[in-house]
Amino acid sequence: MEIVVDAGDTTRTYEVVASRAGRRVETAVRRGVVEVSEVTRTGAVVRTARFMANRVLALVEQPIPREESSDKAG
């Protein structure tokens, strides 16, 4: 997930990824704060990035492409 944030005179881009198999990235907006968290299968939060909601310009989710199997009949 890419987060684009207004940093005054420029923009900054941050990236939060699911670093291991079985993990996912969740997004929540609470009380003017955008939280992007990496979560395990059991729901335990590994790490969290927090941004002021009025500074966030874009949240871009980029799914990982699946590999095509070579033995798949077309």
Mean of all residue pLDDT scores within the chain: 87
* 70 found inside a domain: no
pLDDT of residue 9: 92
Alpha-carbon torsion angle 30, 8, 10, 12, nearest 10: -30
Interatomic CA distance for residues 4 and 59, integer angstroms: 7
Does pLDDT of 71 surpass 60?
no
Domain count for the chain, please give it. 1
Residues 32-65: pLDDT tens digits?
999 999 999 999 999 999 999 999 999 998 776 6
Residue 66, pLDDT above cutoff 80: no
Domain that holds residue 18: 2-60
Whether 73 is covered by a domain: the verdict is: no
Percentage of the chain modeled with pLDDT above 90? 62
pTM: 0.75
Residue 6 lies in a domain: yes
Q: Cα–Cα distance between 66 and 72 in angstroms, integer?
A: 13
